[in-house]
Amino acid sequence: MEFDMSEAEQLRQAIAAGEVDAFLVGKDDKDKRVLLLAGAYQRYRQLVEQMQQGAITCSVHGDILYANQRFAEMLGTPMAQLYAAPLEGYVSSPDRARLSSFLLVSARNSTIDIAFTRRDGTLMPARLELVNFADGYASILVTRLAQLQWARAAEDALNLMRGSVETLNRAGLADAQAKRAVDTLAREINALSKLLDEIGSSAT
């Protein structure tokens, strides 16, 4: 059987292996231009290909120069469609102006909460964090907001429970049955915390 690798997969592999160092971007022939990548960005891309979080690199004009596989999965969009496409095309209309401002300002560690429009038409709330900006390229991490909010709420609840256990321990429980109950509660908190970490690392 002849090998028939899809162009998108071929593109993904070439980028992950650091075999390309430029992209052709622009909406039409008149607008086409070549954007060069620096060596540091190629190494960055190899790293983010293995991440569980969405990662994109954009020009200040909002062209997607790179997106990892996870980001494509989040949007339910083939990777090949993302390259060199304007990011705003995947953002809900009300959020587009804020996204443009976010990219133009390009302040490191700045965040913005926006809604992406997935391929099936559903909205996906997400937090964008600009982790690096250099030579006209913005490196952005994308986290699904619902998961982020849920994880934070769960972490807050666990911290409250931990505080209660510490308070009870400090009070010096004399009753053996009460001590056992507190110990059991402490173990369950640890188990829940571990579970939360696992869910966070696999679902973000």
Partner 1 sequence: MSTTEKKRNGQETDEVWELRLYTAGQTPKSIAALANLKRICEEHLHGKYKIEVVDLMANPRLAKEHQIVAIPTLVKKLPQPLRQIIGDLSDKERALVGLQLRQIDR
User: Which residues ranging from 25 to 44 are in contact with partner 1 (CB under 8 A)?
Assistant: 26, 29-30, 32-34, 36
Contact 165, 185 (CB under 8 A): yes
CA pair distance 3, 6, nearest whole angstrom: 10
Phi/psi for 128 (5° steps) reads -100, 130
Does 15 contact partner 1 by CB under 8 A? yes
Residue number with CB closer to partner 1 (18 or 125): 18
8-state DSSP, 63: B
Burial of residue 201, with CB atoms counted within 10 A of its CB: 0-12 exposed, 13-18 middle, 19 or more buried: exposed
* Burial of residue 74, with CB atoms counted within 10 A of its CB: 0-12 exposed, 13-18 middle, 19 or more buried: buried
Identity of the residue, 23 or 71, whose beta carbon is nearer to partner 1 in the bound complex: 23
Q: What is the rounded CA–CA span in Å between residue 137 and residue 129?
A: 14
Applying CB under 8 A, the site for partner 1 has a residue count of: 27
Rounded to a whole number of angstroms, the minimum distance from the CB of residue 155 to partner 1 is: 40
Give the footprint of partner 1 on residues 51-110 (CB under 8 A): 80, 83-84
Residue 137 C-beta: closest distance to partner 1, Å:
15
Q: Is 24 in the site for partner 1 (CB under 8 A)?
A: yes
Residues that bind partner 1 (CB under 8 A): 1-3, 5, 7, 10-11, 13-15, 17, 19-24, 26, 29-30, 32-34, 36, 80, 83-84
